[in-house]
Amino acid sequence: MQYSAIRKMAQMSSQAGIISFSAGAPSVETFPAEEILGVTSKVLAGESQCALQYGATLGHSGLIDAVMELCAERGLPGVRREEVAITGGSQQALDLLGRILVDPGDTVFFELPSYIGAISVFRNLQARMVGVRQADDGIEIEDLVARIRQIRGEGGRAKVIYLIPNFQNPSGVTLSPAKRRKLLEVADEYDLLLVEDDPYGEVYFDSSQPADLVPVKSFDLGGRVIYISTFSKILAPGLRTGWVVAAAPIIEKLDLAKQACDLCGSMLDQRIVAECWKQGIIQKHLPGIRVFYQAKCRAMLNALVDHMPAGIQWTRPAGGLFLWLSLPRHLDSGELLLECLESERVSYVIGQPFHVNGEGSHTMRLAFSRENEDNIALGVQRLARVFKSHPG
């Protein structure tokens, strides 16, 4: 599996002394460790019997309350209790949804590029995976429609569109408001499910932006959008807590699948996260996270402008942890990575595995989440040195 090769390369890249643009995890500096310690002590002192026992497969009810409130704040009001499932991070949500929604041979549409963890889930399920071009304002609707028609014309089952609308992993691209509505119309017209994966939506850099980030799910009257999110980027990923909002019959199926998968998630984690929300720790903490990543992103963008040779392009994210860089098409980011690691001690993730159609060998993901601003500038200079030494 390519997914594993990526992870191994990421481990190699995390050696001491290497400036890492490959590490995709949120920065430990953003975790409110002290507040979590306080909350955890409270949970274990007051609710230890429940926190240490098996619990509901779909999650702790207090955390479901928190998710309903959080969704309302994101422009997704009126979510009902039976429309929510708590999962072991959003990765488990993807795995469970894949299992209940997709049969072998069903077609799933992905942005080019898309999230490796989702690609891996649907590949394991033997789905047919079809890539759709992405522009600066998100997935290209015409290309999507053309692909759907092609699959249907061939007698295939066009089943699911998987997409990350906000500050996408890996590209950093955000879907425009107009395209959000258009996308739902397409899903309606061709009777597709839409899996809307939103791990990064809260990590926006411009405070006027949230209105543009309203979930596609908020326009969904027919129950065809399945919204996924996580506390990994807004609290701490080690607590492994994500969630799904979907029509009640989908949540019922997910319940059955999850029972056989793990009986229930970590009750301690779920109660800690619920209490962090109840005490306002997450809410209070978010502005700081936004500023933290914004500064890093700006440092990377500035360094790219200052140092990159002509012929190299990159995205300009309005939030999140990543940006996407494209070399001239004749260059192979996989071949250059070894040189970057050995000569320049700087790492990135190669772009090809993010493409379900095998393209993207000249692309790469740069994460600005891990390094400080000085190292970001230094790392970009090093990358630029390697790229300049391979002219067109």
Binding site for its own copies (CB under 8 A): 1, 3-4, 7, 25-26, 28, 31, 33, 36-37, 40-41, 44-45, 48-55, 57, 88-89, 91-92, 95, 117, 120-121, 124, 232, 236-240, 255-257, 259-269, 272
C-beta closer to its own copies: residue 122 or 314 = 122
- In the complex, minimum distance from the CB of residue 25 to its own copies, in angstroms, rounded to a whole number: 5
Q: Closer CB to its own copies, residue 76 or residue 239?
A: 239
Give the C-alpha distances (Å, rounded to integers) separating 381 from 143, 172, 282, 334. Answer: 36, 21, 35, 19
CA–CA dist 143, 333 (Å, integer): 26
DSSP strand E in the chain: where?
19-20, 84-87, 107-112, 128-135, 138-139, 158-163, 193-197, 225-230, 242-245, 313-314, 322-326, 346-347, 349-350, 363-367
User: Which letter does DSSP use for residue 285 in this model?
Assistant: H
Q: Which is nearer to its own copies, 1 or 248 (CB)?
A: 1
Least distance to its own copies from the beta carbon of 99, Å?
8
Question: Rounded distance, CA 168 to CA 351, Å?
Answer: 14
Of 132 and 267, the one with the shorter C-beta distance to its own copies is 267
In whole angstroms, how close is the CB of 316 to its own copies at the nearest point?
Answer: 27
Neighbouring CB atoms inside 10 A of 176's CB total 16
Asked if omega into 287 is within 30° of 0 (cis), the reply is no
**Cα 181 from chain centroid (whole Å):** 21
Minimum distance from CB of 380 to its own copies (Å)? Answer: 25
> CA nearest 147: which of 92, 107, 181?
107
Q: Which CB, 25 or 386, lies closer to its own copies?
A: 25
Minimum gap (Å) between residue 245 Cβ and its own copies: 19
Question: CA torsion, points 113, 116, 122, 128, in degrees to nearest 10?
Answer: 30
By beta-carbon proximity to its own copies, the closer residue of 18 and 213 is 18
Distance CA 186, CA 232 (A): 31
- Least distance CB 95 / its own copies (angstroms): 5
Kindly state the tokens that stand for 299.
Answer: 């440092």
Cβ-based nearer residue to its own copies, 100 or 386: 100
| Closest approach of its own copies to the CB of residue 11, in Å | 9
Smallest gap from Cβ 259 to its own copies, in A, equals 6
Q: How far apart are CA 185 and CA 23, in angstroms?
A: 36
User: Measured from the CB atom, is 158 or 268 closer to its own copies?
Assistant: 268
